[in-house]
Amino acid sequence: MDNLSIPEIVSPLRQKMIRVPEVIQNVSGIKIHGKVIKSLLFTTDIAIIRNTNANAILAVYPFTPQPVITHAIIMASDIPVFSGVGGGLTQGKRVVNLALDAEFQGAMGVVVNAPTANEIIKKIRATIDIPIIVTIVSEAEDIKGRIDAGATILNVSGAKKTPQIVKKVRDICPNIPIIATGGPTDDTIMETIEAGANAISYTPPTNAEIFSHVMDKYREERQ
């Protein structure tokens, strides 16, 4: 039975999609409420969200979080959403309120940015039931303090230093679930996995980049 391939059903109109790199399947995954999450697509583009084979969406964006954006993404997505609720530009009670709203709307978890104070993480933990994902961008951060404050999962995003940071997190807390950026190639993704990441976030090409290839094809066909 183990050697049987998984049957795949693809309709004629849904053949084009964003497929995450196969190497990501080498991670252990993180099981949340019975669902195993190995790959997370880092995007807020609803068209891309509806056309991917990733296990979940990492919906974090560089603006002040707005409930209407969170609601739209969760409503449109057919896979779990981890929703950004601030912690950088947005601080204090507003972050807590955004986290509670995200839970009410059906987010699988909330993501807070690296500048978020531990006191805010504690308040979020006392308010919501879903996982809190805390972003780690440097080895110099108070990793143990984040965990003690109530972080459920750490989201490591350290560019080229990501594998190094993941290893440090593993030394401090061997059992904490880790999501990490995998980088641009299979080799960099595998390096991150071997460092100890449980799930990988993948940045897809933009809508414009995908469309440019489609338009090139259309132009060739018209010549």
| Confidence (pTM) | 0.91
Structure tokens at 16: 């084009």
Structure tokens at 206: 């933009």
Domain spanning 22-222, CATH class? alpha beta
Q: Residue ranges of the domains in the chain?
A: 22-222
- Which distant-in-sequence residues (6+ apart) come within 8 Å of 83 by Cβ? 59, 60, 65, 70, 73, 74, 102, 107, 109, 110, 111
Q: Is 196 helix (H, G, I), strand (E, B) or coil?
A: coil
Structure tokens at 205: 């090409």
89 closest CA partner among 70, 110, 63: 63
Question: Which H or E run includes 165?
Answer: helix 162-172
Write down the mean pLDDT value for the chain: 94
- Name the percent of the chain lying above pLDDT 90: 82
Q: How many CB atoms lie within 10 A of CB 119?
A: 10
**With bands split at pLDDT 50, 70 and 90, how would you rate the model's confidence at 107?**
very high
Residue predicted with more confidence, 137 or 16: 137
38 closest CA partner among 211, 204, 200, 220: 200
CA 184 from chain centre, in angstroms, equals 16
198 closest CA partner among 161, 173, 223: 173
**With bands split at pLDDT 50, 70 and 90, how would you rate the model's confidence at 187?**
very high
Q: Is the pLDDT of residue 2 over 60?
A: no
- Return the pLDDT at 1: 46
- Name the percent of the chain lying above pLDDT 70: 99
Q: What is the pLDDT of residues 141-168, one digit of tens each?
A: 999 999 999 999 999 999 999 999 999 9
Q: Which residue has the tokens 């449109």?
A: 76
